[in-house]
């Protein structure tokens, strides 16, 4: 049996008006009172916080406004007496939890925090379902509209606090007999003001606070996306929108977040920790150098082809590290040149991996793993050695591509408005595009020269690197 009591929110007089002119209120449980209740319930020896016996849920980024669930241990005297489960919550949660569907709760929304090119490259690498960006964006806008409507309507409503207990049938019958024998009648208790174990705030003030809190995060997220260069959304921006549900699932996915789990109990409110660079509006490198994405969009695709995705993430992380070092070491010419060479090798190595992955089924079994590990000559003779089927070389007038430079432009150029039907979104093109745009977007004259140097080095070294790695 479930027993419920509801403390209906009282209404406070409007400032400057008589007591008959009142406005709605929001009541919330005080955390300190809930903690004291649990201590008394268990005779001073309550279950450990965070477990099923005592679990608190902060309300709207406020530490002292909490809900509580408590499941009595199976061998405790409470369970033996018939008390199975208790919960204390505020009805304000219905504002965002209507039909068990919260705004911005769709995991697909995390996809908006990923570079579109990287999303497509991941799809080309590991497959899986690729959600359309337009669909995700419409879902995001719909969540904003739903939150706006709910907050506007809440200004004229009162929200109560509730206490519920799940008890055994035997205990329920005993309670009913006690009430009947003592001639007690169940009646409502009207408080002249907010009860001492709760905190009351006018609904208008409370909804305005929620509005500004939601607007703060939505504005920050959209501002970062709007200020990111086209086709270049760096990994530390993506990290801001990571989901806590990825924490601890495996060694690959690390969750940092904004530090709310530390600041909330310490300060009573979710302040941002000093892990955020306000000038650049992103996490500091201290927290992002060791991670790439903690995004459920990628995590879901990882489950099927973990090795391929991990290789992809490791490679793009190397590319990001090289771009970061270029910025920090721009005054050292020799080091700058070596870093550009490293970027060239990363992109061309990925080109080799992508090509061989497409013909992997045609490779002789004895050579199935060898091509992706060895750095041997990448030429016709090599393919004749590893492929089971005979290959043919096209030359002369029958060949549409007669120059190596033409082949390089066709493979790597991305701003010529020419759509590559089958390899437009392959990782090697995404890496090269990411590197060039990353250097161009710095806004520094020297770094603009670096992007030109990178592109010219591709044209010079493409054929050399394609044939063999030194």
In the numeric block, the tokens 């530090």 are attached to 259
Gap between the Cα atoms of 33 and 35, Å rounded: 5
Token pair recorded at residue 354: 């992508």
In order of 16, 87, 427, 470, the CA distances from 38 in angstroms are: 40, 11, 55, 69
Using a CB cutoff of 8 Å and minimum separation of 24, what contacts does 355-363 make?
359/387, 362/387, 362/388, 362/389, 363/387, 363/388
Gap between the Cα atoms of 457 and 344, Å rounded: 8
> What residues are paired with 162 via a beta bridge?
6, 89
In contact, 83 and 167? CB cutoff 8 Å: yes
- Residue 234's contacts (CB-CB under 8 Å, 6 or more residues apart) are 115, 228, 282, 320, 438
Nearest C-alpha neighbor of 107 from the set 225, 242, 217 = 242
Burial 157-192 (b: 16+ CB within 10 A, else e): bbbbbbbebebeeebeeeeeeeeeeeeeeeeeeeee
Q: At what angle do helices 116-126 and 306-328 cross, to 10 degrees?
A: 150
Domain ranges of the chain: 2-227, 327-470
Neighbours of 120 (CB within 10 A): 19
Span between the terminal Cα atoms of the chain, in Å: 75
Nearest C-alpha neighbor of 5 from the set 191, 183, 151, 156 = 191
In contact, 228 and 234? CB cutoff 8 Å: yes
Neighbours of 296 (CB within 10 A): 19
Q: What is the pLDDT along the chain (470 residues), one digit of tens a residue?
A: 777 777 766 555 555 554 445 688 999 999 999 999 999 888 888 888 888 889 999 888 888 999 999 998 888 888 889 999 999 999 888 777 666 677 887 777 776 766 666 777 766 666 655 566 778 888 888 888 888 888 898 888 889 899 999 999 999 888 888 877 775 555 555 556 788 899 999 999 999 999 998 888 888 778 767 765 555 545 444 444 444 444 444 444 445 566 777 888 888 888 877 777 776 666 666 665 544 444 455 555 444 556 666 777 778 778 878 887 877 777 788 888 888 888 888 888 888 888 887 777 788 877 766 655 556 666 777 788 888 888 777 777 777 777 777 777 787 787 777 777 777 778 888 888 888 877 776 555 555 566 666 666 666 655 555 544 33
> What residues are paired with 363 via a beta bridge?
387
């Amino acid at each position: 049996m479930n027993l419920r009591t509801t403390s209906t929110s009282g209404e406070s007089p409007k400032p400057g008006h008589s007591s008959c002119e009142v406005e709605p209120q929001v009541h919330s449980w005080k955390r300190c009172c809930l903690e004291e209740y649990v201590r008394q319930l268990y005779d001073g020896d309550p279950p450990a916080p965070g477990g099923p016996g005592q679990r608190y849920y902060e309300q709207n980024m406020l530490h002292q406004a909490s809900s509580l669930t408590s499941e009595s241990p199976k061998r405790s005297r409470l369970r033996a007496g018939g008390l199975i489960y208790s919960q204390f919550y505020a009805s304000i949660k219905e504002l965002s939890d209507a039909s068990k569907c919260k705004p911005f709760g769709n995991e697909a929304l995390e996809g908006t925090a990923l570079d579109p090119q990287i999303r497509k490259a991941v799809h080309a690498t590991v497959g899986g379902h690729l959600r359309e960006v337009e669909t995700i964006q419409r879902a995001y806008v719909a969540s904003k509209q739903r939150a706006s409507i709910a907050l506007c309507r809440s200004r004229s409503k009162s929200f109560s606090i509730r206490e519920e207990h799940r008890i055994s049938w035997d205990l329920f019958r005993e309670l009913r007999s006690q009430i009947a024998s003592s001639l007690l009648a169940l009646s409502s208790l009207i408080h002249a003001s907010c009860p001492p174990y709760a905190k009351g705030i006018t609904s208008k003030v409370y909804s305005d606070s929620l509005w500004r809190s939601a607007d703060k995060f939505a504005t920050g997220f959209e501002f970062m996306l709007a200020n990111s260069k086209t086709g270049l959304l760096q990994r530390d921006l993506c990290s801001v929108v990571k989901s806590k549900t990825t924490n601890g699932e495996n060694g690959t996915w690390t969750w940092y977040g904004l530090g709310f789990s530390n600041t909330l109990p310490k300060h009573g409110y979710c302040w941002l920790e000093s892990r955020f660079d306000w000038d650049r509006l992103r996490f500091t490198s201290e927290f992002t150098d060791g991670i790439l994405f903690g995004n459920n969009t990628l995590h879901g695709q990882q489950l099927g082809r973990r090795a391929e995705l991990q290789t992809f993430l490791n490679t793009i992380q190397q590319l990001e590290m090289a771009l970061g070092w270029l910025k920090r070491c721009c005054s050292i010419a020799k080091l700058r040149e070596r870093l550009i060479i490293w970027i060239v090798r990363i992109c061309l190595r990925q080109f080799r991996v992508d090509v061989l992955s497409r013909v992997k089924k045609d490779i002789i079994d004895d050579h199935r793993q060898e091509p992706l590990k060895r750095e041997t000559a990448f030429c016709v003779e090599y393919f004749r050695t590893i492929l089971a089927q005979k290959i043919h070389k096209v030359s002369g007038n029958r060949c549409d591509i007669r120059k190596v430079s033409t082949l390089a432009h066709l493979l790597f150029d991305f701003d010529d408005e020419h759509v590559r039907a089958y390899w437009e979104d392959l990782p090697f093109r995404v890496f090269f595009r990411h590197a060039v745009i990353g250097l161009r977007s710095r806004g520094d004259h020297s770094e603009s020269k670096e992007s030109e140097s990178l592109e010219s080095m591709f044209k010079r070294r493409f054929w050399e690197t394609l044939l063999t790695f030194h």
